[in-house]
């Protein structure tokens, strides 16, 4: 069935514009192939928005996101802010505001290995081969948003507060059970309940909810142990759910075991329009060089068709095209096997062409 799809395109900073351009071309090719009508509009977010209008998530960008069916997002961040802790307005605030204002309380990061990349993994092949799990990170609570946050008057003491409410925990635990039910039916809830009060709330609520999902095995794990287990036995995970800061750290760890961070997509979902983005960030050293890997963004487009539009066939064709480009060795330098490395736009064009000729 053909549909009208309205997409907000937010390239952001660093390599964002180059990779999002490829994601958009893939979106166009899929819409053409399946007879969907695509309309899209670009908007500013991050350092480029600060430079242009003085704030990292302008109201006009928020309004565009709110009236769109999905947001395709690149990355934000700029070294000129990273090296200046005194900067009052920071690109990252734009990302946090976007998540909060759109109510995107869950960040979903599927971690799956690609056969042709396993030799790039820092782990032994037998440990990673076949690893396939999903991290669900809470995205609008915890220490990132908890108040009070700040410094004492003399500037010599600083504090952040980790705050979670019952409602925030319940909604993400139910979401995690929903995904576990569609997969191998195992949920690992990661916390630090032996030390933190907020973690004890997470654990208590999960224990209350677990009986509602009798066909799903629930496992409880402390975050330090989980960090270890991700590298010792990644295949033991199916769906992992955790709070914001733990999730930020564990998902970076999880992403590299697959061989390249340049391959992993993510979806942020919740109350309003969902956001789809690669997890690798703005990679400023590569910006403007046409060398960044566009496949994580292209796989984020696959997630967009599946999660935001409920179009499974479209998502499947994108995944197939990405796998084919890897098999044909049409890949960027980060994953090229002693073979010729292709540029960002060449890889994108190859994937588009595959879709067109399918």
Neighbours of 198 (CB within 10 A): 21
By the rule CB under 6 A, 92 interacts with ligand IPM: yes
Q: Quick check: 122 and 257 in contact, CB under 8 A? A: yes
Cα end-to-end span (Å), the chain:
19
d(C-alpha 188, C-alpha 230), whole Å: 12
By the rule CB under 6 A, 129 interacts with ligand IPM: no
By the rule CB under 6 A, 101 interacts with ligand IPM: no
Using Cβ positions, the residue closest to ligand IPM within the complex turns out to be: 92
Q: Spell out where 116-211 has E strands.
A: 132-138, 150-151, 158-159, 186-191
Task: Choose between 14 and 77: whose C-beta lies nearer to ligand IPM.
Answer: 77
The residue from 9, 19, 95, 226 that contacts ligand IPM (CB under 6 A) is: 95
Sequence-distant (≥ 6) Cβ neighbours of residue 351 within 8 angstroms: 22, 26, 294, 298, 318, 321, 322, 325
Task: Choose between 99 and 203: whose C-beta lies nearer to ligand IPM.
Answer: 99
CA atoms within a 13 Å half-sphere pointing along the CA-CB vector of 141: 21
57, 81, 105, 144: the active-site residue: 144
**252 catalytic per annotation:** yes
Task: Choose between 248 and 346: whose C-beta lies nearer to ligand IPM.
Answer: 248
Task: Choose between 188 and 244: whose C-beta lies nearer to ligand IPM.
Answer: 244
Compute the least distance from the CB of residue 272 to ligand IPM, in Å: 18
Compute the least distance from the CB of residue 65 to ligand IPM, in Å: 16
30 phi, psi to nearest 5 deg: -65, -45
d(C-alpha 299, C-alpha 294), whole Å: 9
Compute the least distance from the CB of residue 95 to ligand IPM, in Å: 5
Compute the least distance from the CB of residue 248 to Mn ion, in Å: 4
13, 192, 238, 334: the active-site residue: 192
Number of H helices, E strands in the chain: 13, 12
**192 catalytic per annotation:** yes
Alpha helices in 102-143 (DSSP H): 125-128
Among ligand IPM, Mn ion, none, what binds residue 16 when CB lies within 5 to 8 Å by partner kind?
A: none
Task: Choose between 20 and 355: whose C-beta lies nearer to ligand IPM.
Answer: 20
Compute the least distance from the CB of residue 159 to ligand IPM, in Å: 19
By the rule CB under 6 A, 248 interacts with ligand IPM: yes
Compute the least distance from the CB of residue 150 to ligand IPM, in Å: 18
d(C-alpha 132, C-alpha 121), whole Å: 14
Q: Quick check: 261 and 255 in contact, CB under 8 A? A: yes
224, 289, 310, 356: the active-site residue: 224
- Which residues 22-61 are close enough to bind ligand IPM by CB under 6 A? none
**144 catalytic per annotation:** yes
**185 catalytic per annotation:** no
Residue span 230-249 as binding mask against Mn ion, x where in contact by CB under 5 A, dash where not: ------------------x-
For residue 138, what is the DSSP state?
A: E
**248 catalytic per annotation:** yes
Paired tokens of 57: 């998530």
Q: Beta strands 70-75 and 275-278: pairing type?
A: parallel
Contacting positions for ligand IPM (CB under 6 A): 77, 92, 95, 248
Contacting positions for Mn ion (CB under 5 A): 248
User: Which residues form the catalytic set?
Assistant: 144, 192, 224, 248, 252
């Amino acid at each position: 069935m053909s549909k009208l799809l309205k997409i907000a395109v937010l390239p952001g900073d660093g390599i964002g514009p180059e990779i999002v351009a490829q994601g958009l071309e893939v979106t166009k090719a899929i819409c053409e192939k399946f007879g969907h009508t695509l309309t899209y509009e670009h908007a500013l977010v991050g350092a480029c928005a600060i430079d242009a209008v003085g704030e990292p998530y302008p109201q006009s960008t928020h309004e565009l996101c709110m009236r769109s069916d999905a947001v395709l997002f690149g990355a934000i961040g700029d070294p000129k802010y990273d090296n200046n802790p005194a900067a009052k307005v920071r690109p990252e605030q734009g990302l946090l505001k976007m998540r909060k204002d759109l109510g995107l309380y869950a960040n979903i990061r599927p971690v799956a290995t690609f056969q042709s990349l396993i030799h790039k993994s820092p782990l032994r092949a037998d440990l990673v081969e076949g690893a396939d799990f999903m991290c669900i990170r809470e995205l609008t609570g915890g220490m990132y948003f908890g108040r009070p946050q700040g410094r004492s008057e003399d500037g010599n003491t600083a504090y952040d507060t980790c705050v979670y409410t019952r409602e925030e925990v319940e909604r993400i635990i139910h979401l995690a059970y929903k995904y576990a039910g569609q997969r191998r039916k195992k949920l690992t809830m990661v916390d630090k309940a032996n030390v933190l009060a907020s973690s004890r709330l997470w654990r208590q609520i999960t224990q209350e909810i677990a009986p509602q999902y009798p066909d799903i095995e629930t496992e409880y794990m402390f975050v330090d142990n989980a960090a270890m287990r991700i590298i010792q036995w990644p295949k033991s995970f199916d769906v992992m759910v955790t709070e914001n800061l733990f999730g930020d750290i564990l998902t970076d760890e999880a992403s590299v075991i697959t061989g390249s961070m340049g391959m992993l997509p993510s979806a942020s979902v919740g109350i309003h329009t969902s956001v789809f983005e690669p997890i690798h960030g703005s990679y400023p050293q590569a910006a403007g060089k046409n060398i960044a890997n566009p496949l994580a963004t292209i796989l984020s487009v696959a997630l967009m068709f599946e999660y935001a539009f409920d179009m499974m066939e479209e998502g499947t064709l994108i995944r197939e095209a990405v796998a084919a480009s890897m098999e044909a060795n049409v890949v960027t330098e980060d994953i090229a096997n002693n073979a010729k490395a292709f540029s960002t736009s060449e890889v994108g064009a190859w994937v588009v062409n595959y879709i067109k000729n399918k």
